Amino acid sequence: MKGQTSHSILDEQRQKSLRKNMTDAENRLWQRLRGRQIASCKFRRQHPFLDYVLDFVCLERRLVIEVDGGQHLESERDAGRDRRIENAGFRVLRFWNNQVLQEIEAVVEAIHLALTKEPHPHPSPPLEGEGEEPFHAVDTGLPSPFKGEAGRGMGANNNQEKEPC
């Protein structure tokens, strides 16, 4: 895929190993993402992009989903990674492992909302006092993997369905 710079990321054996050794939370979420079960969108798992391997990505809707354990709490590295991915035009949703394992329906609903929400109409943030709050700053109601932030990557409920991916 265009954009990769690290040969270790492009190594297909590494991706196979990551797919084979997914966490329980990643496996549980994958069972709900695979086969176009959410908004008819196709997801890939352990997909290389830039210098990263993304847990899950829907390329058509430009949505990245990361499932994190406690080692990611207040991670500046993850925040920088998210900024780079967002600058490339993707939205990033992060969920804690325990959210996926204990609240899978809420996680799936949050993903569905992100997939069906209309993207912000402006390619860049609106001028002060114009438009709505940026897409990633709206609260999902789920605890965030980043301390003190609302759920990342989510918008208000929008029942308007998009075309399948």
Categorize the per-residue pLDDT at 14 as very low, low, confident or very high, splitting at 50, 70 and 90. low
Q: Does domain 7-137 have CATH number 3.40.960.10?
A: yes
Domain-wise residue ranges, the chain = 7-137
The number of residues in the chain equals: 165
Q: Which residue has the higher pLDDT, 23 or 124?
A: 23
Measured CA distances, 77 to 4, 52, 71, 124 (Å)? 18, 12, 11, 24
Token pair listed for 144: 């965030």
Count other Cβ atoms within 10 Å, centred on residue 109.
16
Q: Across the strands, what pairs with 30?
A: none
Categorize the per-residue pLDDT at 105 as very low, low, confident or very high, splitting at 50, 70 and 90. very high
pTM beyond 0.75, yes or no: no
Token pair listed for 120: 């912000």
pLDDT tens digit sequence for 49-89: 888 889 999 999 999 999 988 665 666 888 899 999 999 99
Q: Check: CB of residue 44 under 8 Å from CB of residue 57.
A: yes
Query: Tell me, what's the pLDDT at 142?
Result: 58
Categorize the per-residue pLDDT at 165 as very low, low, confident or very high, splitting at 50, 70 and 90. confident
Count other Cβ atoms within 10 Å, centred on residue 121.
8
